[in-house]
Every structure is written in structure tokens, then in C-alpha cells.
Amino acid sequence: MCPGVERNASHAARPGRVAGPRRRIAFYKAGGRAGGVALCAFVGLACAGQRAPTANAVAHGAARAAAIRAATPAVVDAAGRVPAREAEQALGQAAATRAYRRRARALANAVERKTGSPLVRGNRTRLLIDGPRTYQAMLAAVESARDHIHIETYIFADDEVGRRFADALVRKRRDGVAVRIIYDAIGSIASDREFFAGMAAHGIEVAEFRPLGRSPLRRVNNRDHRKLTVVDGRVAFTGGLNISGTYSKASTSRPGPEHGLRSGWRDTHLEIRGPAVRRLQSLFLDSWAHLGRNVDAVPAALYPELAEVGDDLVQVLASEGGDEELRIYDAYLAAIRNAERRIWIAQAYFAPNEEFRAALVAATARGVDVRVIVPAFTDSALIHHGSRATYEELLDGGVAIYEHEEALLHAKTAVLDGVWSMVGSSNIDPRSFLHNDELNAAIVSEEIGRDMEDMFRRDLETSRRIDPEAWRARPAGDRVKEFLSSLLRHWL
């Protein structure tokens, strides 16, 4: 076992949660009425005969929900949960304006109650937009490493960008810095095995996640889709970017559909400094241990003392494929159901199930500005058409959908009410929620919320809004593609 590995709080089993198979059945039920009815009949669940709630029960439920929204959220530091007075102070520092603080409280409480992930105080986070800026920050951290560098990524490409990272990692290994890499076997299938063998020959520890031909067939569908880099246990990077030449240029180069599949992808990453890095480090070491690898290091080097360096509150949200706890899905739903003003989402692969779609439509019905930016073109036609099969219901429900046209959108972000933001690896689709290992970070911060909304507005400038009337009149051939693709959406 790796020394110093501490199971992340978001992974801890909690009483009262739906058990594994039942929890996943609940997700499938939410994916469609017909499928839900069939599954209910299959497992013998009682889908009828439920009593309607009384007026008193409804009033009691509303009062209880209001009390939860107004409660002091759970806030932790390096030593554990802080007293309510300190939690209130931390919330006030993250959201100084009274209106933003009230919204932050409601959203953070809803997400923490649903996922068990507390707010970690004392962090400084920074948005990193597109490849050049993100890689510059990551490579600068790599060059400054003194003890270790940990990288977990879906794609580690054997191309110009991948080799630039490999060269930097080899140099640090020669300096005595420990380097550990986890890459996904399918995500990195195009990379030559000699590429990884070359790094291993220089003393870099490399682990392949679920190698093809050596993993149980029932687990092949579980992929490590996380993007995480931790340097010296002090700074972490996470978000949507792989290590790949598709990010060699910024999306502002506007490659368009003709060149955009190969370069200039639009994506978002996050740099985190402060106590939340400890939880991200724990996630990497947990994955490393599950792959049967050990870490020959003292705990103090892996988990150094981390001072509070900022006012951002961070919730670390991690999920594992096949796990009964759909934490990122639950976090999204909890936040959406408690948003008051704005729900702005940018998503590379957007195929929400029925429950998720209903939550977005319900938000528009209560006056929330709900906007979603999706790709106008993508690297997978099958996924693209499967996603589009969900648009009509959302458009009819008042959700504004925009297609990003001038670069391939690969970001997975959301900002709600200008104060609760999400950046990570998880798409809004069944594959990410049910099958992949994913990692998102939620940030409660008025400043980061403002930056996220500014970023969203800039993306709108290069996006075209889908007109509901024109969408309903789209060609029959498009509808057929959407229907056929949607049949496989659960596995895409």
C-alpha cells in the first residue's frame, strides 16, 4: 500500500445512499420512460400505487429544503471540519457580496448534502483556457518540481506535445525527481508502446490502465478519463485537457471544421494551490495503488503541510466506473435544482438522461436563464448525432442551445448563479457518469464565477444559437441518424 494514501472523503461510503445495482437502475429509469417501465417490471419494483403527498407534507418538505439552503455549509481545512463561525467567515471571503453569498450557501449545501463532498477552504484557483496557456503552466510546474510529479491522463499522445512533456519529465527524473504516470490503454491506443518504454527506461514509473487483452471483459468498458497532474503535493492541475497535439494551438486560431479536428481545440483546465491539493494527491495515489503499484516515499513528501493561500472554496468530486455513487451526476442535479439566476454549461459530449433534461427544463420554468454550448462539429459523428437526439425536448422547454462553430469544443464546464463553478473531465452523458473514472472540481468563488461567465460569453461570440422552429424542421435524414445513434448512447 502507498504510504500516506488517505481515501478521499468523496469516496467514503455513506449510509442512506441507494445500493449499487439499485442506484444504477435508478439512473437507467431516469434515461427514458419506456426503459424505466421495463426495468421496474423486470426487478419487481412498485411503480404504481404511491400515495400523493398531503399539503402538510409538501409544506414541511419546502420548509426543510429552505432550512438546508440557509444552513452553514460543511467546510474543512487540513485538520478537519472547521467550526460554523469559521465556515461562515470562509464563505464570506469566497463570496463577499451578500446576494452571491446567499446563492453560494444554497448551492454548496445542496451539493454537499447529495455527494458528501465538503468545501475545502484556503485555495487559490486559476482558469487555464486552451492548450498553449495550460501546457505553459503545467510545464513550468514540472520544471520547478523537487520531489515528485504525478500524471494521470486519458490520452498521452506520442506526438510533438507528448514528446515535449516526455522530455521534460526525463530531465526531472535525471535530477532525482520521482515521476509516475497513469495513462488509459484505449485513450492512448495510438501512442507507440516504445514511447512509454522509452520513458520507463529513464526511470519513470509508468502504469497502463486496463490494458487490452489483460483486463476482464466486464471491466473493459471502464476507462480512466481523468486528467490530473500533481507536483510535489503542492500544486495540481485538472480539467478537460489531455496531453496531445490537438491543443498545440489556441482555439482563437479559429481552425473551423476543416482543420479543427487536428488542432486548436477549445478546452478548459484549472490550476489549484492550497489544501485541496491534498485530496487530489490522494486520488492519484489511490488509483496508483489500485493498479498494484507502490510508492517508495515518506508520507511527509507526498502530503506536505499546505498553507491557506487564497479564498476559493473547492469541492473535489471524483467517480469510479461501476461505482454505485454517481457523485458528479448528483452534484450537477443538486446545483441545477437550486440555481436561482443562471445555469451556463459548456459541454463537449452532451447527452443528458431524462432526469437531467427535466431538471434543466424545470429551471427555465422558474425563470432561470439556462444556456448550453455544444460543439457544431466533433471528433465522433456517432456521439454527435446521439447528443443531438436530446435537443428538441430541451429547446421546447425553453433551454437555449448554442453550437460552437470556429473550434472543436472539448470543455466540460458549468457556472451557476455566478458563484458556483464546475471544471473537470466528466461529460454530461452516460459514459462519463456510469462507466468512466472521472474527476471534477467545483469552486465556490465570486471571482472565479465572474471569470467563468466572462469565458462563457466569449464562447457565445463564436457560437450560433439553434432556432427551435428550424430545428423541428430539420431533414428526416438527420432525425434517422439521431435516432440510430441514440440507441447506443448509453455506451458511447
Q: Could you list the pLDDT tens digit for every one of the 492 residues in the chain?
A: 455 444 444 444 333 334 455 555 566 555 544 333 333 333 333 334 445 555 555 444 555 556 556 788 899 998 899 999 999 999 999 999 999 999 999 999 999 999 999 999 999 999 999 999 999 999 999 999 999 999 999 999 999 999 999 999 999 999 999 999 999 999 999 999 999 999 999 999 999 999 987 767 667 789 999 999 999 999 999 999 999 999 999 998 888 887 888 889 999 999 999 999 999 999 999 999 999 999 988 889 999 999 999 999 999 999 998 777 899 999 999 999 999 999 999 999 999 999 999 999 999 999 999 999 999 988 777 777 778 888 999 999 999 999 999 999 999 999 999 999 999 999 999 999 999 999 999 999 999 999 999 999 999 999 999 999 998 888 888 888 778 777 776 666
The size of the chain, in residues, is 492
Question: Is 232 a known active-site residue?
Answer: yes
- Options 150, 227, 404, 490, the catalytic residue: 227
Question: Is 412 a known active-site residue?
Answer: yes
**pLDDT at position 12:** 42
Grid cell 523537487 — which residue? 146
Question: Is 158 a known active-site residue?
Answer: no
Question: Is 312 a known active-site residue?
Answer: no
**pLDDT at position 434:** 92
Question: Is 417 a known active-site residue?
Answer: yes
- Options 412, 435, 481, 490, the catalytic residue: 412
Question: Is 481 a known active-site residue?
Answer: no
What residues form DSSP beta bridges with 180? Answer: 150, 205
Instruction: Pinpoint the residues of the chain covered by CATH 3.30.870.10.
Output: 131-249+275-302, 326-491
- Options 29, 150, 384, 410, the catalytic residue: 410
CATH topology of domain 326-491: Endonuclease; Chain A (3.30.870)
- Options 158, 184, 224, 232, the catalytic residue: 232
**pLDDT at position 63:** 54
**pLDDT at position 16:** 36
Strands 412-416 and 342-347: antiparallel
Q: The domain at 131-249+275-302 falls in which architecture? A: 2-Layer Sandwich (3.30)
- Options 130, 224, 417, 459, the catalytic residue: 417
Q: ∠ CA 121-127-131 to the nearest 5 degrees?
A: 140
The contacts found for 191-199 with CB under 8 angstroms, 24 or more apart, are 191/155, 191/156, 191/157, 191/158, 191/162, 192/158, 195/158, 195/162, 195/163, 195/166, 196/156, 198/166, 199/166, 199/169, 199/170
